[in-house]
């Protein structure tokens, strides 16, 4: 269960999927405390609740939300964050005390120039690293510390250095995410988006170089047919999840909003406190923006493959995606869920 609570963000990432900052502000500002409480109560039994979108730590109620989730019995209570506010150890400790037991920290380089060239925010590297260190000190209390890196043409050559840097700072699991071709990643595609082929080759070389270091690292959200040379343990897709956001009114629909092109965004979920919101699963996003071709139906990954971003195919075609014969071994599961 993802709960989008951050109307604003204190970074300005070059690849951010949430390019429409006005819409994010409107949608996430509408996620009131009453709505958060309803979501948490309605979805008890979920494996995890993750507070995300924008920068969740800028939301003053986050510790209260975490305590609600713990009281309601969620086994995993997490936050997706740039960790800058966590550089203040008392705040990190307050979240852990409230019930937060996993932190996903977004970091995109092992040095200041690389990271801040992508976040476009001076001082963000030092604060993020200090935030990682704050959480690492809490690990004896049963806190998990994971990292999330968005791959670009700039940081792809530095996977070894980044991995070793993060391990040295106490990170338990490293996830490297291939960009989704949405928002700014679409706007700046030609400048920052490496090909799937180059990404897979670089990741394979990375694994060879760190062989023996037992790397708990995963490459996610890349077509499986392009990563046949990578062991199944290290590849997959991001987890399945659902979330709520504001539905579009008739005026916005008539204006041809591209918030979720191809998906019916009229409010259709609930009454009372949830009136006006739309429930979305990740599959809804995939159906709206990913595509397959007829040849994909004969690939052994067809049943688990989520398709290719339509904007990627429009720019680079299908040549990289060669269907894999069905008689090959069974396809991998979701690496990010391990």
Structure tokens at 242: 């659902």
Q: Which helix (H) or strand (E) holds 23?
A: helix 21-29
Question: Could you write out the DSSP letters of every residue in 240-263?
Answer: P-EEEEEPP-HHHHHTT--TTTTS
- pLDDT tens digits, residue range 122-160? 999 999 999 999 999 999 999 999 999 999 999 999 999
0.75 surpassed by pTM: yes
What per-residue confidence (pLDDT) applies to 262?
Answer: 46
Domain spanning 2-245+276-337: CATH superfamily: Aldolase class I (3.20.20.70)
What per-residue confidence (pLDDT) applies to 105?
Answer: 98
What are the start-end ranges of the H helices in 158-267? 159-168, 184-187, 189-192, 196-209, 250-254
Rounded Cα distance between 68 and 89, Å, is 22
What per-residue confidence (pLDDT) applies to 193?
Answer: 95
What per-residue confidence (pLDDT) applies to 17?
Answer: 79
User: 28 with 2: CB under 8 angstroms?
Assistant: no
What per-residue confidence (pLDDT) applies to 285?
Answer: 65
Count of CB atoms situated within 10 Å of the CB of 112: 14
- pLDDT tens digits, residue range 282-317? 767 666 688 999 999 999 999 888 889 999 999 999
What per-residue confidence (pLDDT) applies to 279?
Answer: 83
What per-residue confidence (pLDDT) applies to 271?
Answer: 61
Which residues of the chain are modeled with pLDDT < 50?
Answer: 250-263, 267, 334-338
Pick from 313, 294, 295, 306: which is nearest to 331 by CA? 306
Pairing of strands 173-178, 144-151: parallel
């Amino acid at each position: 269960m993802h709960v989008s609570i951050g109307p604003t963000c204190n970074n300005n990432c070059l690849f951010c999927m949430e390019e429409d900052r006005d819409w994010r502000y409107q949608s996430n500002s509408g996620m009131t405390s009453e709505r958060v409480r309803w979501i948490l109560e309605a979805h008890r039994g979920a494996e995890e609740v993750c507070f995300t979108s924008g920068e969740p730590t800028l939301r003053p109620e986050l510790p209260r939300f975490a305590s609600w989730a713990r009281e309601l019995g969620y086994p995993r209570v997490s936050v997706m964050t740039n960790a800058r506010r966590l550089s203040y150890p008392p705040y990190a400790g307050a979240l852990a005390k409230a019930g937060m037991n996993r932190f996903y920290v977004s970091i995109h380089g092992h040095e200041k120039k690389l990271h801040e060239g992508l976040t476009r925010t001076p001082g963000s590297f030092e604060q993020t690293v200090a935030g990682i260190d704050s959480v690492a000190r809490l690990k004896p209390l049963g806190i998990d510390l994971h990292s999330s890196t968005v791959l670009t043409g700039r940081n792809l050559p530095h996977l070894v250095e980044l991995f070793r840097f993060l391990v040295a700072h106490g990170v338990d699991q490293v996830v490297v995410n291939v960009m989704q071709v949405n928002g700014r990643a679409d706007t700046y595609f030609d400048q920052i988006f490496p090909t799937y082929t180059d990404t897979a080759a670089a990741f394979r070389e990375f694994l060879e170089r760190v062989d023996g270091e037992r790397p708990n690292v995963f490459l996610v959200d890349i077509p499986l047919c392009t990563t046949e040379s990578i062991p199944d343990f290290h590849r997959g897709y991001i987890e399945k999840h659902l979330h709520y956001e504001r539905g579009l009114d008739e005026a916005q629909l008539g204006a041809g909003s591209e918030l979720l092109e191809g998906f019916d965004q009229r409010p259709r979920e609930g009454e009372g406190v949830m009136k006006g919101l739309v429930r979305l699963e990740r599959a809804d996003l995939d159906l709206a923006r990913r595509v397959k071709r007829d040849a994909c139906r004969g690939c052994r990954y067809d049943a688990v493959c989520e398709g290719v971003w339509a904007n990627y195919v429009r720019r680079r075609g299908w040549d990289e995606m060669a269907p894999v014969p069905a008689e090959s071994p069974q396809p991998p599961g979701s690496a990010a869920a391990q």
